[in-house]
């Protein structure tokens, strides 16, 4: 089966998405998500100007070989732009192969290891009581696992606090990134109060998660992990920036709070030390940013040996194409832990009709052949790209800090 055509579709149904569509001589098409939040057009150009010319005429069935051809063939390895582009090609080729065999993708990945996939939603509020109300709303929807974030007294804005209750969308349209202000001291004093209140209200059984969004030093993260131990979080996410993998060693020596990281990682090399030293409990790399299904399986296989489980990133900037791919991966991989699920807007869901479903806190990718997701190109064309940036973050004295 030969690739005869490929194109990049950039659209903005509520937010920006970059989608690769590959077509074969058998009339089968496959989709891959290539969205890199705030840097979308760089990946679109990488695909259109550099990869698509190499894809035309290639054998669509040679997925591993195509991955290696694009990765090794670039000479310039790794990096989010390159890896998001390779991910999109890889995902589209898995979609095509599964469609050509008439099976849902998870059947090609070893079949289902579980009946359905545990997901977590995002509850947030400007105050602790608002967050309590948001968690209650998620429980009513059937969620068994909920990430909780709250505004911090004395800070005008905080990571993870949404404008609406169901949709948290940090990217803002405009000429420059929005600027947030940050105080580690205020945050460290406040965060345990939030979880004490949530446990008091909702008891011990629900899974609670929290994202520190790369803002702490290792010793600060160790203090937070220790102070959160009585509230037994499912995980503390991104306690420190992930570039320095051994930073996690110090945190690990001080706390039994489980640790998760990986949403900004793009290859197995970003995770290698973390996994092999068992400094983390969950690896959060995603299909769209970490090399597609092909590479994500290698990361999961390495993690399995070291008792590390998966917890794929699944924010709204990962399109329904990525969400579908993630669910096939989650259903099949043995050492699955949890999947993040931020609901997309109705506009997004209309542009990307899909077969995956949510019920009682669990999801299933559906049994349509391939990924089970498509793109309505005519509708997508009605939502042109709109430049948007993720915020930046400064300390109270004006110093740039991690967002």
Could you give the residue numbers annotated as active site?
Answer: 159, 213
For ligand KDG, the binding residues in 324-343 under the rule CB under 6 A are 340
Stretch that binds Mg ion, among 12-20, 152-160, 207-215, 360-368 (CB under 5 A): 207-215
261 class by beta-carbon count within 10 Å (0-12 exposed, 13-18 middle, 19+ buried) = buried
C-alpha dist (Å) from residue 36 to 83, 162, 310: 10, 20, 21
> How near is the Cβ of 263 to ligand KDG at its closest, in Å?
6
Which among 302, 299, 303 is positioned nearest to 287, based on CA atoms?
299
- Between CA 364 and CA 178 the distance in angstroms is 36
Does residue 272 contact residue 262 with C-beta atoms inside 8 Å?
Answer: no
Q: Is 181 helix (H, G, I), strand (E, B) or coil?
A: strand
Q: Is 211 in the site for ligand KDG (CB under 6 A)?
A: yes
- Pick one of ligand KDG, Mg ion, none as the site partner of residue 90 (Cβ within 5 to 8 A by kind): none
Does residue 334 contact residue 304 with C-beta atoms inside 8 Å?
Answer: yes
For ligand KDG, the binding residues in 147-176 under the rule CB under 6 A are 170
Stretch that binds ligand KDG, among 74-82, 123-131, 313-321, 356-364 (CB under 6 A): 313-321
For ligand KDG, the binding residues in 18-37 under the rule CB under 6 A are 37
Stretch that binds ligand KDG, among 224-232, 249-257, 310-318, 373-381 (CB under 6 A): 310-318
Q: Which two tokens stand for residue 351?
A: 């542009």
Q: Is 95 in the site for ligand KDG (CB under 6 A)?
A: no
Q: Is 340 in the site for Mg ion (CB under 5 A)?
A: no
Residue 266 or 340: the one with the smaller Cβ distance to ligand KDG is 340
Q: Is 263 in the site for ligand KDG (CB under 6 A)?
A: yes
- Pick one of ligand KDG, Mg ion, none as the site partner of residue 320 (Cβ within 5 to 8 A by kind): none
Binding-site size, ligand KDG (CB under 6 A): 10
User: How many other CB atoms are there within 10 angstroms of residue 55's CB atom?
Assistant: 21
> How near is the Cβ of 320 to ligand KDG at its closest, in Å?
15
DSSP per-residue string spanning 264-306: T--SGGGTHHHHHTT--SEE---TTTTTHHHHHHHHHHHHHHT
For ligand KDG, the binding residues in 35-94 under the rule CB under 6 A are 37
Which among 91, 324, 314 is positioned nearest to 211, based on CA atoms?
314
- Phi and psi at 180, nearest 5°, equal -105, 160
Q: Is 220 in the site for ligand KDG (CB under 6 A)?
A: no
Which residues would be at the binding site for Mg ion (CB under 5 A)? 211, 263
């Amino acid at each position: 089966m030969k690739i005869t055509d490929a194109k990049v579709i950039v659209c903005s149904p509520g937010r920006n998405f970059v989608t690769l569509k590959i077509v074969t001589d058998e009339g089968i098409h496959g989709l891959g998500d290539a969205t890199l939040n705030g840097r979308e057009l760089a990946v679109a150009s990488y695909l259109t100007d550099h990869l698509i010319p190499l894809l035309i005429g290639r054998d669509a069935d040679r997925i591993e070989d195509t991955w290696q051809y694009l990765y090794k063939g670039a000479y310039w390895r790794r990096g989010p732009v390159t890896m998001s582009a390779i991910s999109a090609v890889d995902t589209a080729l898995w979609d095509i192969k599964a469609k050509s065999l008439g099976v849902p993708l998870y059947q090609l990945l070893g079949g289902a290891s579980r009946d359905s996939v545990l997901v977590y939603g995002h509850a947030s509020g400007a105050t602790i009581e608002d967050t309590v109300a948001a968690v209650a709303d998620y429980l009513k929807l059937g969620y068994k696992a909920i990430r909780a974030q709250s505004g911090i007294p004395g800070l005008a804005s905080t990571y993870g606090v949404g404008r609406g209750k169901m949709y948290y969308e940090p990217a803002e349209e405009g000429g420059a990134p929005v600027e947030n202000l940050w105080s580690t001291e205020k945050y460290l004093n406040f965060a345990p109060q939030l979880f004490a209140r949530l446990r008091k209200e909702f008891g011990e059984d629900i899974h609670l998660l929290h994202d520190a969004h790369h803002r702490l030093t290792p010793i600060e993260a160790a203090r937070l992990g220790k102070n959160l131990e009585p509230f037994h979080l499912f995980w503390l996410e991104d306690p420190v920036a992930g570039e320095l993998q051994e930073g996690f060693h110090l945190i690990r020596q001080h706390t039994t709070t489980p640790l998760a990281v990986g949403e900004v990682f793009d290859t197995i090399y970003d995770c290698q030390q973390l996994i092999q030293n068992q400094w983390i409990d969950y690896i959060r790399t995603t299909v769209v940013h970490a090399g597609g299904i092909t590479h994500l399986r290698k990361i999961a296989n390495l993690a399995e040996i070291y008792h590390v489980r998966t917890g794929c990133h699944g924010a709204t900037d990962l399109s329904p194409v990525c969400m579908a791919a993630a669910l096939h991966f989650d259903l099949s991989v043995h050492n699955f832990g949890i999947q993040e699920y931020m609901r997309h807007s109705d506009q997004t869901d209309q542009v990307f009709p899909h077969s995956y479903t949510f019920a009682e806190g669990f999801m299933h990718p559906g049994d349509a052949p391939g990924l089970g997701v498509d793109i309505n190109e005519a509708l997508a064309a009605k939502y042109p790209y709109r430049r948007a940036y993720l915020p930046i973050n400064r300390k109270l004295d004006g110093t740039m800090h991690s967002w």
